[in-house]
Amino acid sequence: MSTKKKVLITGAAGFLGSHLCDRMIKEGYYVIAMDNLITGDLRNIEHLFKLPNFEFYHHDVTKYIHIPGELHYIMHFASPASPIDYLKIPIQTLKVSSLGTHNVLGLARAKKARIIVASTSEVYGDPLVHPQNEDYWGNVNPVGPRGCYDEAKRFQEAITMAYHNVHDVETRIVRIFNTYGPRMRLNDGRVLPTFIGQALRGEDLTAFGDGSQTRSFCYVDDLVEGIYRLLLSDHHLPVNCGNPTEITIKQFAEEIIKLVGTGTKVIFKPLPMDDPKQRQPDITKAREILKWEPKISRAEGLKITYEYFKSLPEYDMTFRKFGTQEDEIMKKAGY
């Protein structure tokens, strides 16, 4: 019988989940990784399979979850996260943050485990205040194309608070802003892999609108540090984690072109429906409560990420998770 503290990580084969597995193994935990592989990839965690303190459950968290024995922590990160994914599989997206979160909260209650749930800056929608702090309630269109993700995450926060208030479950809520790094999928539709993929293929980079909309990008190691600190803190209300350094999409595209050095240019396409114009976290709370702030510069993080994408096999350049029927849904949403 292992004496290590046990943690269940859902969405473990995904981008963030796999980095959390690495971190929790490094911190000496026994990790149970769970994923149904709908957007994840086992290659992200295959290096952990040989370890005695790691096991993988191929399981859909919207179905009943059984974990034998003790469980000390749950990190609930299962959910499609890129617009391409959640626009293509909106029902699965709604289910994982509603039914799936209900299941993991029930498990946390039964096991007396502490649980952290992955929320998102998308709970702020297309924000009317800038930068966004945790007291802002958001500006979300529930019936727009992004509603399936944004509202599912808002429900996730609400049910997490209810389990805290009614059943005294130790809950933590992290509101994650755009994060990047190795193990993102090159074709997942998020702006950074899209730009790097286009530049690697020698194509022009497509920015939406006039490219003046802003984003801020946090390198994955910084985010993981923030999540780990929040898990171990005693703060149950939502905390923003992200990098407050803001950049326009046009400037960002130019940075990528310079990094990859393929001499391509930026071209512009109409802005998709409900695309947020500005996105920047106010991380005052994380600074105060967690003594956390991002340390890795964009230049440094981009270089590591670019090296990772360059090392991928040809197959990943063209790999598509979903088919033509889903492409039609995307087209209707203006993507």
Structural contact between residues 227 and 174, judged by C-beta atoms closer than 8 angstroms: yes
In the numeric block, the tokens 């974990």 are attached to 67
* Least spacing, CB of residue 62 vs ligand NAD, in Å: 5
Catalytic residue (one of 30, 73, 86, 149): 149
Any contact of residue 14 with ligand NAD (CB under 6 A)? yes
Neighbours of 229 (CB within 10 A): 18
Backbone angles phi, psi at 155, to 5 degrees: -60, -45
Any contact of residue 216 with ligand NAD (CB under 6 A)? no
Contact flags string 24-63 toward ligand NAD, x per CB under 6 A:
-----------xxxxxx-------------------xxx-
Nearer to ligand NAD, 142 or 202 (CB): 142
3-state DSSP assignment of residue 326: helix
Nearer to ligand NAD, 268 or 312 (CB): 312
Nearer to ligand NAD, 18 or 264 (CB): 18
Handedness of CA 304, 34, 173, 333 (dihedral sign): positive
Any contact of residue 77 with ligand NAD (CB under 6 A)? yes
Any contact of residue 176 with ligand NAD (CB under 6 A)? yes
Q: Which amino acid is at 127?
A: P
Query: Binding to ligand NAD (CB under 6 A): which residues in 228-257?
Result: none
Any contact of residue 118 with ligand NAD (CB under 6 A)? yes
Neighbours of 99 (CB within 10 A): 14
Active-site residue, 149 included: yes
Query: Binding to ligand NAD (CB under 6 A): which residues in 177-206?
Result: 178-179
Distances (CA, A) of 136 to 285, 290, 326: 13, 20, 33
Any contact of residue 78 with ligand NAD (CB under 6 A)? yes
Backbone angles phi, psi at 154, to 5 degrees: -70, -40
Q: Where are the alpha helices (DSSP H) in 14-121?
A: 15-26, 83-88, 90-111
Any idea which residues carry the catalytic annotation? 149
Contact positions toward ligand NAD, by CB under 6 A? Answer: 10-11, 13-17, 35-40, 60-62, 77-81, 85, 96, 100, 118, 120, 176, 178-179
